[in-house]
Amino acid sequence: MADINDYAFTGRVGQDAKVKQLPSGKFVMEVSVANNTGYGVFKKTLWLKVKMWGERVNNIYPLFTKGALVGGCGELGTNVWEGKDGLQHTDIEVTVQNLQLLSKPKDEQPAEPEDDEGPVF
């Protein structure tokens, strides 16, 4: 029996999503997502490299721009690589089937309408 590897997350997009076509002809979208935990001096940011496969990524990747709030669920993994500095680095990767846009970047959201009458009780 296989183990369960299911990771759910929300976070803000760190860079605009990018799509690559592999030599095999398959498409993959990659987007970095900042997942924040804790608060105050205990606040931590976990950077996730989120991947989505399939031709549909060509249609949806423009929606995932820097600052957008996203949510997803997928298989958690790591990728260890050696940088130009000769040091080993580890990326935390989540391969998702669906990635949901929860809100647009803060600078693209419409301004709150001004209400001259004040609050209604």
**Number of domains into which the chain is organized:** 1
Is there a domain that residue 119 lies in? no
Is there a domain that residue 100 lies in? yes
Is there a domain that residue 46 lies in? yes
pLDDT digit string (tens) for 60-102?
A: 999 999 999 999 999 999 999 999 999 999 999 999 999 999 9
Is there a domain that residue 116 lies in? no
Is there a domain that residue 117 lies in? no
User: Above 50 in pLDDT, residue 120?
Assistant: no
The confidence score (pLDDT) of residue 117 equals 54
Structural domain range at position 42: 7-107
Is 28 in contact with 18 (CB distance < 8 Å)?
no
Query: In terms of Cα–Cα distance, which of 83, 13, 89, 80 is closest to 47?
Result: 13
CATH number, position 24 = 2.40.50.140
pLDDT digit string (tens) for 15-58?
A: 999 999 999 999 999 999 999 999 999 999 999 999 999 999 99
Is there a domain that residue 1 lies in? no
Is there a domain that residue 67 lies in? yes
Residue 34 CA to residue 31 CA, distance in Å, equals: 10
Average pLDDT, rounded, for the chain: 89
Is there a domain that residue 120 lies in? no
Is 74 in contact with 94 (CB distance < 8 Å)?
yes
Q: Which two tokens stand for residue 96?
A: 């998702």
Is 8 in contact with 73 (CB distance < 8 Å)?
yes
